[in-house]
Amino acid sequence: MSALQTREVRRAASTPKPAAPARRHKPLRGNLWVGLLALPAVAFFVVFAYLPMVGLVVAFKEFNVADGVFGSPWNGLDNFRYFFSSGEAGRILLNTLLLNTLFLAATLAAGITLALMLNEIRGRFFKRVAQSTIFFPYFVSPIVISIILQVLLAGVGGSGGAVNDALAGFGLPTVDWYSEPGPWPWILTVVKVWQMGGYLSVIFLAAITSIPEEVYEAGAIDGASRAQMAWRITIPLLRPTAAVLLVLGVGRIFYGDFGTIYAIVGDNGTLFPTTDVIDTYVFRSLRQLGDFGTTAAVGLFQSVVGFILVTAAVLIQRRYAKESSVL
């Protein structure tokens, strides 16, 4: 895809006049002039993103500190074998996919719902306070989240916790949450929604503001209820934004949210059956070794899979929702 497009750019740059002015765009010279606006960001990407990518060669090398990246001997695909020969690869890949899909779907849904609901609130003061409060969890560090979770689920010393107290109050059996892997995908999802819901709702709120009032006025004249207007007018207009977030999220679906998961689950092996993702597994098994080659190989694998998924997502999007396609 990108090679084709590079060629396109080159052709475009060398042709003095566009062959057939597409739609009503200005001539190419004008386009290049607009293109200058992208220059600072492009320069940034070249220097701080693309230049350092030469470092990726280490994924194919038997790394050692003294020889560094260029001096270390090549070892072909050996580094990639480590992860796939572990016998755990299947389970971990599945966990990664499941957890991230859950996170992505739940946080997007929460962001949209919160934005719609906030949009319904008339009292300016209440709305402002509400917006500030729901944005707040985004700032809470993973360590503090894990402290709060322990208070809720385990209490000091690991027997008790607010949730168990409540369960006992209703005469229900209590749960040893920290040795029961089953509920953890859901617990982590709740944490993610709590953490990101407010953050994402801000993005959607900004999108809602750009919806012209006339659209709603027309709806009101037709006698539509607020709920109907939200459903028929606002949500369809939020689709492009949601689509962008979705595509961006799909590309990173093979990365876990390492910071949060590791802070909460840590080295608690009893929870790994449902919570161990690629990033945590690699961190755990390689932290002692300091082998940059193997870790770079796993990272490259994640990138390539992400690349394939995004390409697929973009192609689907172009086919079915061309308007909202960004790539």
Residues 193-212 that bind other proteins (CB under 8 A): 194, 196-200, 202-203, 205-212
Position 167 contacts other proteins (CB under 8 A): no
Q: Is residue 310 at the binding interface for other proteins, with CB under 8 A as the rule?
A: yes
Give least dist CB 224 to other proteins, A.
9
58-97 footprint of other proteins as x/- string (CB under 8 A): x----xxxxxxxxxx--------xx--xxxx---------
Q: List the structure tokens of 226.
A: 């607020």
* Contact residue for other proteins among 95, 96, 107, 274 (CB under 8 A): 107
Which residue in the set 112, 292, 313, 317 belongs to the binding site for other proteins (CB under 8 A)? Answer: 292
- Binding positions for other proteins, 45-64, rule CB under 8 A: 45, 47-58, 63-64
From 170, 290, 319, 320, residue interacting with other proteins (rule: CB under 8 A): 290
Which 8-state DSSP code applies to residue 109? H
The distance of closest approach from Cβ of residue 171 to other proteins in the complex, given in angstroms and rounded to an integer, is 22
Q: How many residues bind other proteins (CB under 8 A)?
A: 178
For residue 212, the 8-state DSSP code is: -
CB of 237 to other proteins, least distance (A): 8
Instruction: Note whether 181 binds other proteins by CB under 8 A.
Output: no
Check residue 303 for interaction with other proteins (CB under 8 A): yes
Contact 196, 110 (CB under 8 A): yes
Distance CA 102, CA 170 (A): 29
Nearer residue to other proteins within complex by CB, 7 or 172:
7
- The CB density around residue 48, as the number of other CB atoms within 10 Å, is 9
Judged by CB under 8 A, the residue of 103, 187, 188, 317 near other proteins is: 103
- Nearby residues of 232 by Cβ (< 8 Å), 6 or more positions away: 219, 224
Rounded to an integer, what distance in angstroms lies between the CA atom of residue 97 and that of residue 254?
A: 7
Query: H-helix or E-strand containing 119?
Result: helix 89-120
**Cβ–Cβ under 8 Å, residues 198 and 136:** yes
Q: How far is residue 289's CA from residue 268's CA, in Å, rounded to a whole number?
A: 21
**Gyration radius (Cα) of the chain, Å:** 25
Among 76, 77, 101, 128, binds other proteins (CB under 8 A): 128
Spatial separation of the C-alpha atoms in residues 61 and 77, rounded to whole Å: 9
30 near other proteins, rule: CB under 8 A: yes
